[in-house]
Amino acid sequence: MKEAILLLVGGIVSFVFRFLPFLSVKFDALESKVKQAIMAGVLLVVMAGVFGLNCISGVSLPVDLVMACDKPSALSLASMFILLVVGNQSTYSIIKK
């Protein structure tokens, strides 16, 4: 289930950059490599936020995203980041404006 949530989040970020007028105009003017780097950076911030929220007591996340706040979980999150980027880039390349 975590994988499905990550693919969904990656797709949502793609839609935001493709269809929000104030973002899409500036984003479309950039080179492809710059777009990919920006998307990866945004997704990295999202993943770091999820991990950080897991480490803060009192913050409630959906059950499927809850993980321990330790090194093995951080490594697992790194592999999930790859899945998030794949979902994001696939969705962005498929959707048409």
- Reported as a single tens digit per residue, the pLDDT across 9-68 is 778 888 888 888 888 888 888 898 898 899 889 889 988 887 787 777 666 666 566 677
Give the pLDDT of residue 41.
92
**Against a cut of 0.85, is the pTM above it?**
no
CB 11 within 8 A of CB 91: yes
Angle (CA) 66-90-46 rounded to 5° is 35
Which tokens belong to 37?
Answer: 């780097």
CB 95 within 8 A of CB 18: yes
Radius of gyration for the alpha carbons in the chain, expressed in angstroms and rounded:
14
Q: Which amino acid does the sequence have at 84?
A: L
Cα(13)–Cα(19) distance, integer angstroms: 10
